Structure 1
Amino acid sequence: MSDRINQKYFYIYIMTNKKNGTLYTGMTDDLLRRVFEHKNNLYKTSFTSIFNLHKLVYFEQTDDVSAAIYREKQIKKWNRDWKLKLIEDMNPNWNDLYYFYGGKEYEKNLDINELRKLYGNS
């Protein structure tokens, strides 16, 4: 049981601004934190901030960091149609999955103004 508690996971995810919009593929070990950063433009010059990619429409999880890195690179090389099919298969309505997987609960303990200072965006 303690192995499960200490288990580390890695996530490959896709962000967008709207259905069939611009896509961004990334990898992280803390999905809610990373999507929160994207949604709040905490990295002002990032691709997701510039194009307002604030909607989590796809993700997958693994416990193997090498597999996560490989998968992220694999998806980034795919053509757009393959990425759209991947999203449509998991999330045909293009819902923002951040809220389905605890995003609002995650935000309850955060102070966005303090975070902006930490990230140099005050």
Structure 2
Amino acid sequence: MNYTYIVECADGTLYCGWTNNLEKRIAEHNAGKGAKYTKPRLPVKLVYYETFSTKEEAMSREWHIKQLSRAEKIKLIEESGERDVSTTFGDI
């Protein structure tokens, strides 16, 4: 499975990425081994994700989400059914 995800950084900013192992990627972000953008903004909290069967689909969705304004990203997160992603992967 491949994922496109959004995390909320400690400073309230949003970061979007893709991965084939969501739990591991969030742990990497919080260990300071993730993206350059998130390193000084720890910890991060997973607030949104989508699943895809191919890497190309996940990467394409990441690109499209990155084109959205902050308000549009927040709307996407809010409209996702307000699922509690922390219960999906525990305390990540």
Q: Provide the TM-score with structure 2 as the length reference.
A: 0.84
5+ long unaligned stretches in structure 2: none
Query: Quick one: distance in 2 between partners of 1:73 and 1:79?
Result: 12
Count residues in correspondence: 92
Compute the RMSD of aligned alpha carbons. 2.4
Q: Which has the higher helix share?
A: 1
- Among all aligned residue pairs of Structure 1 and Structure 2, give the percentage whose two residues are the same amino acid: 34
Task: Note if contact 1:58-1:87 (Cα within 8 Å) is conserved in structure 2.
Answer: yes
In proportion to residue count, which structure has more strand?
Answer: 2
The structure with more radius of gyration: 1
> Partners of 2:7 and 2:59 in 1: how far apart?
17
Per-residue deviation, 1:22: 0.1
2:88 aligns with 101
Unpaired runs of at least 5, structure 1? 1-8, 108-122
After the TM superposition, list the runs of 4 or more consecutive aligned residues in structure 1 that deviate by more than 4 angstroms. Answer: none
Contact 1:13 1:60 in 2 (8 A): yes
Q: 8 Å contact 1:75–1:83 — kept in the other structure?
A: yes
- Return the alpha-carbon distance in structure 1 between the equivalents of residues 76 and 87 of structure 2: 18
> How far is the alpha carbon of 1:17 from its aligned partner?
2.7
Matches within 5 A, 1:1-122: 9-17=1-9, 21-43=12-34, 46-90=36-80, 92=82, 97=85, 99-104=86-91
Shift of 1:83: 0.3
Kindly indicate whether structure 1 or structure 2 has the higher relative contact order, using CA contacts under 8 Å at least 6 residues apart. 2
Length-normalised TM-score, structure 1 = 0.65
